[in-house]
Structure 1
Amino acid sequence: MFIRTERLFLRPAWEEDAPALTRAIAHESVAHMLARVSWPYEEEDALAWIGAPRDPSLPSLLITIPDDGGTIIGGCGLHAADSDGPAEVGYWITPAAQGQGYAREALSGLLAIARMAGHRTLRGRHMVDNPGSGRVLTAVGFRPTGGTGSLPSLARAAAISTLEYEADLAGGEPAQVPPTAWVTPDAYIASINAAA
């Protein structure tokens, strides 16, 4: 799946993305806020993630800036919950691109994809020491459930306490979702070449 938001392009990862993906995610501050990312993070880890089998209803996408030659600035996706229940969202932004609203914009685009894939409800969680992630979730329409839990963090080699959120996608698009447009791979490549 490919989707264009106002400033971003969300797309699948390809094997040739491994070096740039590694540079974007291989920051201790990023790895420590994610459950499934090891630290240190190496190019072999990126290749393993890129090559992992995917359920089409649970896309994992790179967040890129097409006007900057397709620079990878993060990732977002859906994954199966660790228990019965709705799919969960996940996302990250490389440190140099944080604080510019990219996570919120990418997550809004991901919600549009999730809705088109037939998801009616999504779950979100963040580690208690990452309150900024909670602000991103609420900005795109997630509501705190009051639930808590924990996530095993590979990077920290420990279980970290989490706060839980939920979004209802069945009631129509949240007001925060910006206009999006589906983009073909050829159109994406043309936009990258035009920016170069």
Structure 2
Amino acid sequence: MFIRSERLFLRPGWPEDWAELHALIDDEQVVRNLTRAPWPYSPDDARAFAARPQVGRHPHFFITLPGPHGSRLVGSVGLTQDGDECLVGYWIAQAHWGRGYATEAVHSVLSLARTLGHDRIVAHRFADNPASGRVLEKVGFRPTGEIRIGRSAARREAVPTMIHAIDLAPPADSDGPEDGGFAPMRTLRAA
């Protein structure tokens, strides 16, 4: 599965991506905000992450930035199942922070989530990571008011975690007046 957004190309990871992945995520400032990534992040960790299989309704993607000499990796985004919740997770390499890539990638995955049949997506962010909260707010997530004690493999300690959620609208039905008011489609059907 692939997603093209305005500036980014989201694609599955391939085993040969491990070295580029390792170069980007081998950064304590990135890894400390992730739940499962250990610190230090080893080449074997990168190999395992790059080779992870896709899981049906919970795909994950490498975020790449296309350019004249190919695409370069800038981060990762994906959906996972945690009990009854569908979670979105993401990270962006520090060299690419502040450019809106996380917002654009999460927005793209939310559009796919609707198509995959998800009606609610949850995100967990560590309380000391307000930048992640801004990303979530920009794409429509709202804080639930719930604070949980989360785990970070890199920090090796419990961390207060803010819970955010978004309820997804079902895809628009283009077979009738619910087509979003796109009159040209009704005109074509009537002809």
Task: Give the TM-score of the pair, scaled to structure 1.
Answer: 0.83
Deviations 1:19-71 (A, max 9, x none): 00111111000000000101111221011123334322111110000126211
Q: Distance in 1 between matches of 2:150 and 2:118?
A: 23
Structure 1 residue aligned with 2:103: 104
CA contact (8 A) 2:10 2:64 kept: yes
AA aligned opposite 1:78: L
RMSD over aligned Cα atoms: 1.4
1:67 matched to 2:67: yes
Structure 2 residue aligned with 1:125: 124
Q: Distance in 2 between matches of 1:89 and 1:21?
A: 19
CA contact (8 A) 2:16 2:50 kept: no
Shift in Å at residue 88 of structure 1?
Answer: 0.5
Structure with higher Rg: it is 2
Counting only pairs closer than 5 Å after superposition, residues 49-64 of structure 1 correspond to structure 2 as 49-64=49-64
CA contact (8 A) 2:106 2:139 kept: yes
Counting only pairs closer than 5 Å after superposition, residues 73-88 of structure 1 correspond to structure 2 as 73-81=74-82, 83=83, 85-88=84-87
SS in 2 for 1:87: strand
Q: Distance in 2 between matches of 1:38 and 1:60?
A: 19
Counting only pairs closer than 5 Å after superposition, residues 1-196 of structure 1 correspond to structure 2 as 1-67=1-67, 69-81=70-82, 83=83, 85-170=84-169
**Unaligned runs of at least 5 residues, structure 2:** 173-191
Deviations 1:119-166 (A, max 9, x none): 110001100000110110010011111011122111011121111111
SS in 2 for 1:109: helix
**Unaligned runs of at least 5 residues, structure 1:** 174-196
> Percent sequence identity over matched residues?
44
- The alignment covers a number of residue pairs equal to 171
